[in-house]
Structure 1
């Protein structure tokens, strides 16, 4: 293999070169390289291409080539270019080349080792110099430590002196500050007693603040000498200052009130205030606000100190002075306006307009008060000296009218106005600004409810308990028949209200209770409901007895049942407890003691001790409970039972009489047998009795059948006339049917026991199923 780098190819190759290429080609063919080996060869070639040219190669590059035919030339002399004759030469050439490469590589590392050796020697020299330098540094550090110790000693001494100086200065300042509070007495006193010092002076408020600080300091340090004496003097100055504040505020308010009064007089005609609402607002509020604005900053300072008792008291005095002056201005206008309402408006309108006007006044007064006393306006009690007298004006005008009002509807309307429109809606919507009006509204409401309660009791006594029914009121069943014919005619008119055919006391009771339920407190309404239900029930019962005399017993009973059912139904929605517990004095034991004494069985001396006498002759308190609803149920049950028995007798009275006679005969026979009496009478059968012959029994059965077919339908029709509710009729008629069926059952049993088939055929008693079907078709 031949290698030439950087030289032009020769024109003709020597034979040895040709043989070398031939050998290389045959080598490549006989031993082909793998891809990995080819990559390695390429990398090796790349590495060699980057190596510098040796000196003998550079000579070739300059045109000096050795004689390739000279066999004496050593392959080692031309490592990059040699003529290889055989494999031995190739291996020798490769070995020489490898040695040259190793030698070059070791040379590089050798040079690096030599460099490191030189640097180590340099480091040893530097280290030796550092050791000398460190020794010098240790000496210098020892000298510095000595200097630092002396410096620290001097610094500590200076700090102690500085601290001592600061402590002495602080002590002196503290002593000076403490003495300043005591020294301020003369300064403050001289300024307060100065003739030029007024509340309007710009130095007054800071001076008052400093006075507060002195009082607080002296009060918190009672251990100082003469602190009590100084405290008394400071408080004397404070009292003088607060008195100046009160006098100043009163003067400003009076001046503002005089300006407003002048405006009011200008709007008066013949001593009567004539102002529109706009003029009223402008004169009473805008002008007063402008005139009294100068006290607002002072009031803010006073309010900021209201946590202290002295300032709280002067603030309360200012509130009273303010309310007093405002009341002088507003009272006449408010009285005139409400009086005008009372002259031109009915009671309900007067109530509405009076409350609305007072709410407007309260809002305006609250806004004005808030302007001067912003921190105190949230408490409605501060405005009470002003608002209460203004509200009393409306109360004084309404009170006589309420006392003389007798109409229940109007009183109920007034209660609804006060409770719903005023208290719930208006007062709830406007909030704290009209809170001062609430006590007066509640007072008026209590008076209206009291009057309403009294009138309701009078109404129940006059219109219900003492009601005298007319012939038209007792025209039953005529009223019901006329109503039924009116509805059946279908004349195009609306059906009359159900209340129109009710007995008047019942209609009035229900109407009265429905009005009172929303207007009175539950406790009061419960008592009235108890009384009204009781007197209404008694009134209905009285009317029922009159109807029995005038019409029939059945009409009276059905009238009573109808109205008691309606009363029970109508009071059910009222959410109240109809049971009332009341206490009574029981003197029964006292009567027993007196009887024993009068009979000589006991003596007054038996109760010699005061305790024994008091225990024996004192009344006992007993508790009783009255439930109007249960009493109503009891009355209704009783009249229903009476009606059931009367209708039962109407239908099956002959059967009941026959059963009674049969029972008496059997009892008599059994008694004779037990007593040993023998005779024909004891051996007689039932049908041998005069009242129990088949013919008599058949006559009795015929009468009952006729009554069931003729009388019961009229009873059912009359029940439909009185009781429009089918379920009520069914419930009431059910026991009647049971009684009739039971009577037929007893007669059937007697006939089957006492009579033969021929007699049974003569009697002709219908089957119970037939009677059942007939009764089912009635109601």
Structure 2
């Protein structure tokens, strides 16, 4: 409708108004349709392009006249039709007026009006057609919009219905979940009730099983029954609010008592029957104690698996249930009682045998007795672990009681020992071999033995302190040397004379037979060898056999030393052999046997002179393997276990004495005065426990290093003196020659050595002959004095070796000088001994 009104408004306008309105569209000021800059630029571009275009050929002639001169500024020429009539005719043909004629103005205006109307109609028809199309589109859009609105209404309705159904479904789902939850709760409640009732319902089954005559603690169902019974008791005990709590708890406890009674009866009967069987074989436990111990151990260990399972169950429950703890203690006590019943007689018998065998050797008795108790304690701990997995202090109480039997035998013997060496060795055995070697390496199994050994060590130390005090009072403070004690070197010479009178035995047929038997059977001991000689009608003492074997170079005829004879060679590849030697630089601490007449034992010629405090010595350590040897190591200071491990660098050793520390820590330095002040009354009070033990403070002084330093100085002085004694003249001569050569090198006058009065061949011959005579006369006496005072060929060789080297060096220098400065004739005059002659002269000490 709007478009129609617009069309009518355009039709009502005249041509003039239309032109005026069109002219107002692009006015400079207040334009009705102002153009943008871009549009204006586009119009200018079109105008510039149009100016260059040619005039269309179809343009009428009249229109050519209306063009301004500006518009005709085209370089192109336009072709003008031939005549105006042709142009008009062509135009009328186009307007379909070729058959009409216009003669008057009225006809023209009528035609023009008709033409204008037709043109307007043609123009309006296009617009109307466009409008009709638009109206059709509008109706279609309205229909679509109506359909869309209807669809939206239906969707809203569906959404409301969906929300309604969803809410209903969610409510139903929640209700179902609630029902399922309640169902699960009811099921859990039912199961809980059923589980609770199962504990009470189990009571009847347990009573039935425990009262069954065929019940056995070794059956497969006994241990599960115990577990079920424990669970029932634990559950009932944890719910005291139940109505029948006391009744059911008492009934379950009664079942537990029955079960524990069965276990206790089975375990105790097994141990007691085993003890009775062993006792019947040896009622007194005295026949062959070694076999008895082995039998007792093996039998009990073989019976351990029979009761091990039950004991494990009891131990697992002993921490939670007091009844099981009490049952475990009763089984422990039964086991220990049976072991004590078996071991006490055998241990007493073994200690008695050891005492009779080593009645005069207290050290061997203590060592063997302690070693025996160590094995007993270790075996008992191992056997206890076969039965039980949890320790008990009652085992150490039993072992301590058994060890006290050894202490009761050894203490009376220890308190009557009077020799300081024996007491010191006993201290070393108890402290080093027993406490450090055994107890410290196995403290868990040797706790009871540790207490007894410490008590024994205290007794030995108290006895040692007391005897030391007596020795200081009598032998040190009150010592009065006899004239013969200080008679040196006469005393040593008398000893040499006495030793030369020792008889030398020739090898007898007995020696041959003994040596042959020993070589044929390396494992044969002295006792077996003595029995073998007795079988052929010859009765020989053990000492005679030992001396005979020693002369033949055979040693170690003891059973414990022969257990490795005949072993595979591969075993020895795994063994490291180590030892240490003490080199006595002055004196000798070894034993020497001499023949003496009755009552002449202490005569000067029958005694060996000694040096105060043991003389001077040096300790060397070395080892070897199947692969080779190791360089010897000199031991500085005191040898203790830490230093020994440091030297060994982790290698094992089979000699227990190597870890022995110093036994005389009581007698160091300034504390000697404190010991002198002790008297017999003080020692007695301390031994009886009234006054306590004396307080002794350690103050370590390495006297060995100080002695080594003095020894080194003395040896160096001895070497210098002997060298000067033998070749002093030659050294003076060589020193003069060196000074003369030095002066010549520094620019002094040069002299011919053979022309010097003090270096003539005759003079040198006198010096050489004098030196040679001194060596031949003095060297034997020097070597004899060294042998007399040192009494050790190795020490003599070590000490004399530097002297021999110095003499050889002096003669080597002399030979080099003579070859350089003197002629052959002069050498014959000098007649210097050759190096071979000197080496032969000096070889008497090798």
Q: What TM-score range do you get, normalising by the shorter chain?
A: 0.3 to 0.5
Higher helix share: 1
TM normalised by structure 2 equals: 0.40
